[in-house]
Structure 1
């Protein structure tokens, strides 16, 4: 067995300027005096010493020990904007990443051991952990969550529902349990340390078992009495079991986070609020129970203009999501003094401002054949004047770049990042000829080989990145000048996702995930999951989750999948990295998707009196910024 209270995941990304590590892993010294927030004084809660575990997690503040109080104001763009809550409230799994994103460190679990064959992971919870309602948090809650997420009627579940390597949970005692896999699992710790790690610690057995027939034989009847057709719908409503969209809609749902639901996020909410969890299990170096900030208040609005105006008026204390756009940056820079805020730097994990994905699994065989042809994709790439896009849209920030690991990544390959990025219409014409396109018609556009019209429709969602509209309009002009007729289709996000299983779409765009989190987010390097839009049906073949639409992949894609299965079963991180390099080499050779440019650094907005905020921050979703920088130790300094 390999014993650990922390595990290295990849070489340091930040070099000599690495931020100071946040975690003091040892427990509080014997006889430590604990303190609570003044807002809890005079309540009928047990003393703070009884609410904390025997070994609270001691957190070293970024700058200084803080003071209690205040409300952190931010905003959500619409009632389905759960990602901001996940990044600010919910980053508390069994383990977590440190601030440098180069090590996995203890969290709810204070230690763990890994079997030599990487099939058994034994975790030890902190003794005396409690949900925010005061009931014990134990190994039984982990087992219950895995049991619920394993239900066939629950659609997804990450590693819990991986058909190629199922997991079972063995409860040893209240604080000890084991994840036991059928085959080696070398990547589970990264899964648990990411934003996805919230899943296995999100369901209280004491509360949620009342909705489950196995533990409550009357659950089906009680569900109907409560107005639900099935117990599954009842469970979904009360425990957010089957959908992320209502996870924050039930104030009764127990949580282990620093703040708990106060005003829920419902479909018609104009605001969602959170209040400190009196049973939160972390303290600072002086024994002050965290968090420092009492309340979180999130305005819910579909209007980007309203959110931007709130920030300019000093009505947002910290935020980057939605408002920190390229177009807004000059406004926010000029408004710092009037709004009493500052701009901090985000270093993105994204490797691209936009990735263009042609659907190789199109239901139209003629289109599928064309989009699978590498020469066609190369020709499209060589028609894109990336420098014009960078200069016009991003005021010169960034550089031409394909879908490839970022320069800061240990997987960086300059040839992969720069291939086919030169604007070269003559080379594009030669590539189209090699791809077998027909001659140009009277309008100057290429046809299919049989002479039929070729029009490529590119789906987009402008609400995700406002700059995509301008990018795509420029890109359309550039590609059409080279002879490919392009139509832009700006659609609703729901429809955008619904089109994928049907397979009846030409191309879609998205941002360039996987620049630093290369192994964890390989969607553009291989067809590994639902976000590999360029080969959605190959990904279903790999996952085994939708056999009715799965298609057998091309030999090169199957080779990648074999390598990735080896990687997932490899316990040695050096060998995992070598396998990933082989996967990337195949991606480099076959060029499945087209990138535009390497993003420049982003920014966040923070009120001038908000302290303990790190700068710069590495910015990602799997490393759910700002969560790994511990907002629970942020505080408002006296002005």
Structure 2
């Protein structure tokens, strides 16, 4: 009998992981089908699958039952984007489904006690892509021999493996079961495992041990290090340990597709993993598609190449501005251009740097009235109509309507176009003096000229800022847009020279209360809004500055409270207060959200016409289960 074991996943008192939401098939005996064209030396399907594979009832999900075979072609803008196969494949220990529930996938089940004891059950008989067993030893090898090894991981355990700064007790209970026990709740643990780029807390121990000084033959390690120009066993091991980047074809995987050897840096062939753990309810092993071929092309030409029919499935390197040309090619090439709403909090977000070192600018940018004035002075309707044909939603950089945490006021507060009120606020601050051109003067006599820096990567940002500049000119503010490079932008944030920048909005605009609110508090040193505060948190006070602005300090208090929370209700309250602070303070000046992302579908079935396009959560195509897509005749 084949079934999906559905345990009760009670996390901190709330049901956060719902096995049934993967649309598991009813328990019944399956007649496993053999895949046409598969290598003849492989065992039959029944012997390749786990004893209890994950069985998906596609009819219950409103999808068609597919068929094995075919090659999907797609275009990438750079060779390192081959790693997207491990994003789109989205085989995770636990992962998000389209309802944003966290569900078991590679794992058969997880038991959670008190939010701090996590028992992970792997599937009996599950195998790596080379046919070797996958189980508890692979978790032990990662934790004890990689994560705790200072030569391989000099930075120590990552934050998601620490609770209140303390590591877990790790135990192997049997060949298929491991347990992590923390003294305090660790709500970061499971969401981290579901990311587009997961931490891979397991490794193919049978493959990597030969490169580890503890297990491997010294002569072999020395020879392999010389061959790859590695300076020792640890750099060699790290080079071979390539779970995310997909550049080592010899590394076993659990993903639906794996890199085939022999390709160039311009063309990559990913072939099916014959030991993949998912099947449909008719007994066909997933993925349906045999091969995914990724061809490197100039990013500026990908829209034209897609229009010419050179891609079966394309969203990468396409933007809203490409929709018109893509629509023009539909009739001739017989493809469909679907429009998926982007899951970012805003398509374009203006970011005042609240930790800028210039004391005059620091005081002004931290004045809530100034940020309100800047926001009220932007005609978002004009931007939406001019750049996005009115298809986006005007408002703040915040959670979207698809999030269960959404409230209208989060999007609309201080986001209406009211230049009269904006001017009144600027006068109230005391910025009443002007120069001969009508530009307001800063308290030290300098003209109120904002140098807003961009990464220079998106023309739509510069087009939007041109409109913003015209709006702000009516307020007596001059805006100068300074295109730069991504690395230079971050360096200027680190040095404190950055006054204001533009970026896309919050990465996760569709959070649930169970997802960590790390982007909404100063927790990261790479955040252009408050580098010094984020650096202080990341370095445990050794760098940066302790938040000395009341709203930022409160956001950090709330974030710390979320890390210690023990119920869904508590976490919801924390999220709501954090979102309200952002709405009240206008920390980011969002412009337009839910701008459609074009997704070209050419000869591929089961691709949804309407879906969220995002990175975390979402993994772009991953959350929509690319392993269930299949090629049309």
TM-score normalised to the size of structure 2? 0.88
Separation in structure 1 between the aligned mates of residue 417 and residue 99 of structure 2, nearest angstrom: 37
Which residue number in structure 1 is paired with residue 177 of structure 2?
176
Which residue number in structure 2 is paired with residue 252 of structure 1?
250
Distance 1:539 1:74, change over 3 A: same
Deviation digits for residues 485-528 of structure 1, max 9, x if unmatched? 32222223333344443333122222223321265364663223
Tell me if 1:127 matches 2:88. Answer: no
Tell me if 1:610 matches 2:604. Answer: yes
Which residue number in structure 1 is paired with residue 331 of structure 2?
337
Separation in structure 1 between the aligned mates of residue 221 and residue 436 of structure 2, nearest angstrom: 66
Map 1:167-566; keep pairs closer than 5 Å. 167-197=168-198, 199-201=200-202, 203-216=203-216, 218=218, 221=222, 225-226=226-227, 227-240=229-242, 247-262=245-260, 269-304=265-300, 306-323=301-318, 325-437=319-431, 439-463=433-457, 465-513=458-506, 514-517=508-511, 519=513, 520=515, 522=517, 525-530=520-525, 532-544=527-539, 547-566=542-561
Distance 1:495 1:196, change over 3 A: same
Which residue number in structure 1 is paired with residue 104 of structure 2?
106
Deviation digits for residues 321-361 of structure 1, max 9, x if unmatched? 221x2221122223212111112242332232211111111
Deviation at 1:196, TM superposition (A): 4.0
Which residue number in structure 1 is paired with residue 623 of structure 2?
628
**Residue ranges of structure 2 left out of the alignment (5+ in a row):** 1-5
Distance 1:10 1:355, change over 3 A: farther
Map 1:557-596; keep pairs closer than 5 Å. 557-596=552-591
Separation in structure 1 between the aligned mates of residue 369 and residue 83 of structure 2, nearest angstrom: 38
Separation in structure 1 between the aligned mates of residue 438 and residue 7 of structure 2, nearest angstrom: 64
| Helix, strand or coil at the partner of 2:556 | helix
Deviation at 1:137, TM superposition (A): 1.3
Separation in structure 2 between the aligned mates of residue 78 and residue 370 of structure 1, nearest angstrom: 41
Contact kept, 8 Å, 2:188 with 2:516, in 1: the verdict is: no
Deviation digits for residues 124-167 of structure 1, max 9, x if unmatched? 00011111122221122223334424555358845136773533
Out of 36, 49, 54, which is 2:51 matched to? Answer: 54
Residue range with higher mean Cα deviation, 79-88 or 613-622: 79-88
Contact kept, 8 Å, 2:360 with 2:443, in 1: the verdict is: no
Separation in structure 1 between the aligned mates of residue 120 and residue 486 of structure 2, nearest angstrom: 39
Distance 1:625 1:224, change over 3 A: closer
| Helix, strand or coil at the partner of 2:260 | strand
Deviation digits for residues 93-135 of structure 1, max 9, x if unmatched? 111122322x2222111111111x2111111000111111222
| Helix, strand or coil at the partner of 1:177 | strand
Map 1:9-24; keep pairs closer than 5 Å. 22-24=22-24
Contact kept, 8 Å, 1:5 with 1:110, in 2: the verdict is: no
Separation in structure 2 between the aligned mates of residue 276 and residue 363 of structure 1, nearest angstrom: 53
Deviation digits for residues 444-463 of structure 1, max 9, x if unmatched? 33332111344322222343
Which residue number in structure 1 is paired with residue 32 of structure 2?
34
Contact kept, 8 Å, 2:342 with 2:593, in 1: the verdict is: no
| Helix, strand or coil at the partner of 2:321 | coil
Separation in structure 2 between the aligned mates of residue 109 and residue 380 of structure 1, nearest angstrom: 49
Deviation digits for residues 356-395 of structure 1, max 9, x if unmatched? 1111112333332222222221121122111111111111
Distance 1:64 1:415, change over 3 A: closer
Deviation digits for residues 286-339 of structure 1, max 9, x if unmatched? 2112111111111212332x211221111211122221x222112222321211
Tell me if 1:597 matches 2:579. Answer: no
Distance 1:121 1:249, change over 3 A: same
Separation in structure 2 between the aligned mates of residue 158 and residue 270 of structure 1, nearest angstrom: 36
Contact kept, 8 Å, 1:23 with 1:98, in 2: the verdict is: no
Contact kept, 8 Å, 2:347 with 2:593, in 1: the verdict is: yes
Distance 1:137 1:573, change over 3 A: same
Contact kept, 8 Å, 1:345 with 1:603, in 2: the verdict is: yes
Distance 1:379 1:186, change over 3 A: same
Deviation at 1:413, TM superposition (A): 2.6
Deviation at 1:548, TM superposition (A): 2.1
| Helix, strand or coil at the partner of 2:531 | helix
Separation in structure 1 between the aligned mates of residue 312 and residue 13 of structure 2, nearest angstrom: 33
Distance 1:364 1:224, change over 3 A: farther
Map 1:126-165; keep pairs closer than 5 Å. 126-147=123-144, 148-149=146-147, 151=150, 152-154=153-155, 157=158, 159-160=160-161, 164-165=165-166
Deviation at 1:535, TM superposition (A): 1.3
Distance 1:626 1:264, change over 3 A: farther
**Residue ranges of structure 1 left out of the alignment (5+ in a row):** 13-19
Contact kept, 8 Å, 1:129 with 1:138, in 2: the verdict is: yes
Contact kept, 8 Å, 1:163 with 1:544, in 2: the verdict is: no
Separation in structure 2 between the aligned mates of residue 362 and residue 180 of structure 1, nearest angstrom: 41
Separation in structure 2 between the aligned mates of residue 208 and residue 507 of structure 1, nearest angstrom: 46
Deviation digits for residues 519-573 of structure 1, max 9, x if unmatched? 5364663223245321122123334457222433423322222222222222321
Separation in structure 1 between the aligned mates of residue 12 and residue 400 of structure 2, nearest angstrom: 17
The number of residues matched between the two structures is 612
Contact kept, 8 Å, 1:526 with 1:532, in 2: the verdict is: no
